[in-house]
Amino acid sequence: MKEVNPQETTRAYAFEIWMNAPMPMVTFFKTLDVSRILKVSKRKGMKFNMLMCWCIGKAASQVKEFYMLPVGEKLIRYDSLAVNTIVANSKGEVSSCDIPFSDNPERFNTDYLRLTRQVAETCENHDLADRMVIGTSALAQYDIDGAVGMYSGIFNNPFMIWGKYRKGWFKTTLMVSFQFHHTQMDGAHAAQFLDLLQTEIKSLKV
């Protein structure tokens, strides 16, 4: 990771316009067909949430805007990505866990299981400061239509939220929300990412 001059990047105009905006976050909603994830999860004994996180990382890795993030007053370029998940810990509270993204879903699964277990047992967050982290929050027990993340003014990372998937006659769907900082990407980039996410879900092979 390294600081870059915004004027030497494709985000120069966005940096100038949105860095000091009182509310620079944008939220998109999309209904995904997650039938393939559910099938793989049951066949392979893998966690649904883990497979969702891997598909998110895989889709994001194909959109170059994900590798730059406004941090404080600076624009930082990263070499790699991570996907964050919220973990129920041994104290009955929640902790945060960053999982390094790997193109190999088996490797990602190994890291996911190891790190979430570690965080659950120790109640200590696992943070990867050298990676651009995509936040996620899965409210899998609750049937919600969507959620908008809170903008703290501290963390500018993109963030995804979803609830319980819905089974239909022919497919299983999941409503997701995707929040992003307008300095990092434009609406077209976010929409491209969500389309790629659907593609990765439908073509998931483990």
Give the mean model confidence (pLDDT) for residues 193-200. 98
Residue 85 located in a structural domain: yes
Residue 183: its pLDDT value, please?
97
In the chain, the amino acid numbered 14 is A
Residues 175, 191, 10, CA angle at the centre, nearest 5°? Answer: 145
Q: Is residue 58 part of a domain?
A: yes
The domain of 75 spans 46-202
Residue 129 pLDDT: 95
Mean pLDDT, the chain, rounded, equals 96
Task: Please state the rounded mean pLDDT for residues 44-69.
Answer: 98
Residue 171 falls within a domain, yes or no?
yes
Q: Is the pLDDT of residue 176 over 80?
A: yes
Residue corresponding to tokens 């965080």: 119
Q: How confident is the model at residue 151 (pLDDT cuts 50, 70, 90)?
A: confident
Percent of the chain with pLDDT over 90: 91
User: Radius of gyration over alpha carbons of the chain, in Å?
Assistant: 17
Task: Using a pLDDT cut of 70, give the percent of the chain over it.
Answer: 100
Q: Are 97 and 89 in contact (CB under 8 A)?
A: no
What is the band of 199 on the pLDDT scale with cuts at 50, 70, 90? very high
d(Cα 6, Cα 148) in Å, to the nearest integer? 28
Per-residue model confidence (pLDDT) at position 148 = 85
Residue 192 lies in a domain: yes
pLDDT bin (cut points 50, 70, 90) of residue 60 is: very high
Q: Determine phi and psi for 141, rounding to 5 degrees.
A: -90, -5
Q: What is the pLDDT of residue 44?
A: 95
Residue 80's pLDDT is: 98
Going by C-alpha positions, the residue among 42, 34, 31 that lies closest to residue 206 is: 42
- Beta-carbon contacts of 36 under 8 Å, excluding residues fewer than 6 positions away, are 201, 202, 203, 204
**Pairing relation of β-strands 74-77 and 2-4?**
antiparallel
Position 66 pLDDT exceeds 90: yes
SS3 for 120?
A: helix
Q: Is residue 21 a part of any domain in this protein?
A: no
Which among 79, 49, 40 is positioned nearest to 203, based on CA atoms? Answer: 40
Please indicate, yes or no, if residue 183 is contained in any of the structural domains.
Answer: yes
What is the domain-level CATH number for residue 60?
Answer: 3.30.559.10
Element containing residue 63 per DSSP (H, E): none
pLDDT at 155: 87
pTM for this one? Answer: 0.96
- The pLDDT score that the predictor gives to residue 178 is 97
* Interatomic CA distance for residues 110 and 93, integer angstroms: 24
Q: How many domains does the chain have?
A: 1
Residue at 52 is within a domain: yes
